[in-house]
Structure 1
Amino acid sequence: MPLDSVIVARIVALIQDGRGQRETARIVGKSLCAVQNVYQRYEETGLITRRPGSGRKRVTTRRDDRFLVSTSLRNRTASAVLLRNQLQEVRDVNVSEWTVRRRLRAAGLSCRRMATGPPLQRRHRIARLAFAQNHLAWNDEDWSNVLFSDESRFCLNGSDGRRRVWRRPGERYAPVCIDERLPFGGGSVMVWAGISSEARTNLVFIQNGSLTAHRYITEVLEDHVMPFMITMGEHGILMHDNARPHAARIVRGYLDEVGIRRFDWPALSLDMNPIEHVWDELGRRVRRHTPAPRIAQELRELLLQEWNNIDQNVILNLIQSMPRRLQTVINARGGNTRY
């Protein structure tokens, strides 16, 4: 990499003041070879700047580069081909899409997969921000009184999109290089569960139809939540989201009748619920299993086995991350977060 003109000027000044080249190299923190080359160039040209390069000249100017950067920042999903066309149309500069990519990479921009998140409207952001601010001061003891609950669906032939394959050119559609997928995942199993710092509920399978408000009361709240909340004592709080079976009037009435406190949980806030990461861990364990389950009954048995094998310390660490989650929501002003 060429030396800065300030360093070059200092090297020349030190040598002209009578310093040796080896001593000068030690003072400026450069190699002796670099100092010798710099001073030799100065003696030949009388300049501290580099000689004009003999290679191919840059097609784009700094103004063209700024145009590419600003255009890509205004339209984050624009392809390199589209940016190249806009540069040619506006600036009358013709370059390849590879040149566009190099200019953007030099400016610190890189092309990556978009992060995913729910479509948050203004009211969602306000509610999420208010919840995070109201509970930011809670400590580990406060969060240990919360039962985080949710449902999740696991497919027989699901894929997390992370599978990769080593292949030769032309082997994209070779049988060994295809990730075979069945429509709708080849069948699925829906489960419900709850977690807390000290323990977890049983894994409940939602079978024979979808989960309704009445089934949520009879199959989940009465059989699993009520006994668990009794063990948590009078400070226990139930966390469930705003899904229709949870927010139904008969469900709210039942919780009020039996005296179960619950969070006023903001909508579209999966990132604040640590049980979502438990579902991810459970899904990874199932996908790693060999042989893979072929029917729904095998999948249910494997889910139950792996659910019981998850270390409680993993769940504890997730719940203790709540202050960091809330602070991240506040930093994002109620927007989507990395969680």
Structure 2
Amino acid sequence: MKRLPENDRWRAIGMLQVKETYYNVARYLNVSQPVIKRLWNRYQETGKVTDLPRKGRPRSTTADQDRKLVNKVMEDRHLTSTQLRHSFLAATGVSVSKQTVRNRLHAVNLRARRPHIVRPLSAHHREARKTWSQQHAKWTAKQWDSVMFSDESIYTLNARDGRLRVWRRAGERHIPCTVIKEDLYARGRVQVWAGITTTGRTELHICHGSLTGLYYRDKMIREVVMPFAKRQGKDFIFQDDNAPAHRSRLVQDEWQGNNVRTLPWPAMSPDLSPIEPLWDMLRRQVRERRPPPENLQELADVLQEEWRRIPQEKIEGLIRSMRRRCLACLASDGASIHQ
């Protein structure tokens, strides 16, 4: 039904007051006669032309019950809407839908999100992280400029994170433009390695085979890291984590034989490394590629291409954040920190 603007409503009342018919007024304003009749009756009863207040559907919960629901979530953030619905029914005797539960939580800005994953840290791990952070919190930017941070990461083919959606109407489930092609038997993975500094980065190395100490020494250290170290000079410092290949005797002898300083690294501390956020960035860039890579070779090529596209300013900013990371670790008493 067409809603009349207020000025047209008063125009209709004026026409009716001078004895114009419902038919003529409705035709003049391009509305139905019942609209004009209801408008005239409302004016006769109230002296107004505005709509009367409409009663909506009554709320199924009270404000006190809403607070109890929110308090329940604050006690346990992992409860699902189904579990909350059942506990709410048991506590209040009021049956509500899962959508009502979500609506009440949305009203106080509580929304379901993927949880942040952290490493389980023992007391020994936390103490080691605090000690390391205390030792390096006062490092200058020049000292961090001398460090090459390195790491490996694994990327899988046809990996879905459960969040991919398509827009479609009812009955369009199987049309080609809404279908995702995924060969469940064509899964595979690509392991990559890279190093970063404030002034540059290595190429993204695609690891072929298992990452042993011998492979790490021959392919990463000798072919990639040592040329960087020679250009940097005596101030060069190399960082990697405590993976078995990194701490093998072959690798340690290589560092000692070339007089290369290494940066001791606390166990279970990927959140302290500035290279970790780059892996997430690279993963997002690959996931957004259209069309996506269909085999391992395409995945490797795309990874290397997207790695080169990461701005050096981003890398420099992450390395410059090392002091902040150290201070955050100390402030959290050695617990995991937000990157």
TM-score where L is the length of structure 2: 0.71
Residue aligning to 1:76: 77
User: In structure 2, what is the Cα distance between the partners aligned to 1:333 and 1:285?
Assistant: 34
User: In structure 2, what is the Cα distance between the partners aligned to 1:184 and 1:148?
Assistant: 35
Letter aligned with residue 225 of structure 1: V
SS at match of 1:194: strand
Q: 1:118 to 1:161 in 2, by over 3 A?
A: farther
Residue aligning to 2:315: 315
User: In structure 2, what is the Cα distance between the partners aligned to 1:305 and 1:108?
Assistant: 39
Q: 1:255 to 1:285 in 2, by over 3 A?
A: same
Superposed, which structure 2 residues align to 1:23-62 within 5 Å? 59-62=60-63
Letter aligned with residue 149 of structure 1: S
User: In structure 2, what is the Cα distance between the partners aligned to 1:290 and 1:82?
Assistant: 39
Matched, 1:205 2:206: yes
Number of aligned positions between the proteins: 286
Residue aligning to 2:103: 102
Letter aligned with residue 274 of structure 1: P
Q: 1:125 to 1:177 in 2, by over 3 A?
A: farther
Residue aligning to 1:232: 232
SS at match of 2:325: helix
SS at match of 1:192: strand
Letter aligned with residue 154 of structure 1: Y
Letter aligned with residue 78 of structure 1: L
User: In structure 2, what is the Cα distance between the partners aligned to 1:97 and 1:305?
Assistant: 45
Matched, 1:256 2:265: no
User: In structure 2, what is the Cα distance between the partners aligned to 1:319 and 1:72?
Assistant: 38
Q: Name structure 2 gaps, 5 residues minimum.
A: 1-53
SS at match of 1:245: coil
User: In structure 1, what is the Cα distance between the partners aligned to 2:57 and 2:298?
Assistant: 64
User: In structure 2, what is the Cα distance between the partners aligned to 1:69 and 1:121?
Assistant: 32
Deviations 1:89-148 (A, max 9, x none): 234344333443333334442222222333334433333333333322223212111100
Residue aligning to 1:65: 66
Residue aligning to 1:243: 243
RMSD: 3.2
Letter aligned with residue 116 of structure 2: A
Letter aligned with residue 145 of structure 2: S
User: In structure 2, what is the Cα distance between the partners aligned to 1:182 and 1:260?
Assistant: 46
SS at match of 2:180: coil
Q: How far apart are residue 288 of structure 1 and its match?
A: 4.9
C-alpha contact 1:146 1:196 (8 A) present in aligned 2: yes
Q: 1:105 to 1:175 in 2, by over 3 A?
A: same
Letter aligned with residue 224 of structure 2: H
Q: Name structure 1 gaps, 5 residues minimum.
A: 1-52
Residue aligning to 1:222: 222
Deviations 1:205-243 (A, max 9, x none): 321x21101211122222222221222222222111121
Q: How far apart are residue 79 of structure 1 and its match?
A: 1.9
Q: How far apart are residue 83 of structure 1 and its match?
A: 1.9
Q: 1:333 to 1:106 in 2, by over 3 A?
A: farther
SS at match of 2:245: helix
Q: 1:80 to 1:148 in 2, by over 3 A?
A: same
User: In structure 2, what is the Cα distance between the partners aligned to 1:295 and 1:58?
Assistant: 54
User: In structure 2, what is the Cα distance between the partners aligned to 1:292 and 1:102?
Assistant: 36
Q: How far apart are residue 61 of structure 1 and its match?
A: 4.6
Deviations 1:164-189 (A, max 9, x none): 32111354555433333334763333
Q: How far apart are residue 199 of structure 1 and its match?
A: 1.9
Matched, 1:149 2:136: no
C-alpha contact 1:155 1:185 (8 A) present in aligned 2: no
User: In structure 1, what is the Cα distance between the partners aligned to 2:114 and 2:243?
Assistant: 29
Q: 1:175 to 1:145 in 2, by over 3 A?
A: same
User: In structure 2, what is the Cα distance between the partners aligned to 1:227 and 1:126?
Assistant: 35
Residue aligning to 1:125: 126
Q: 1:320 to 1:185 in 2, by over 3 A?
A: farther
Deviations 1:269-314 (A, max 9, x none): 2222222233344444445555554444444444444444444223
User: In structure 1, what is the Cα distance between the partners aligned to 2:233 and 2:272?
Assistant: 24
Q: How far apart are residue 192 of structure 1 and its match?
A: 1.6
Letter aligned with residue 245 of structure 1: A
Structure label with greater radius of gyration:
2
Q: 1:240 to 1:68 in 2, by over 3 A?
A: same
Residue aligning to 1:85: 86
Q: 1:329 to 1:177 in 2, by over 3 A?
A: farther
Matched, 1:169 2:189: no
Q: 1:55 to 1:291 in 2, by over 3 A?
A: closer
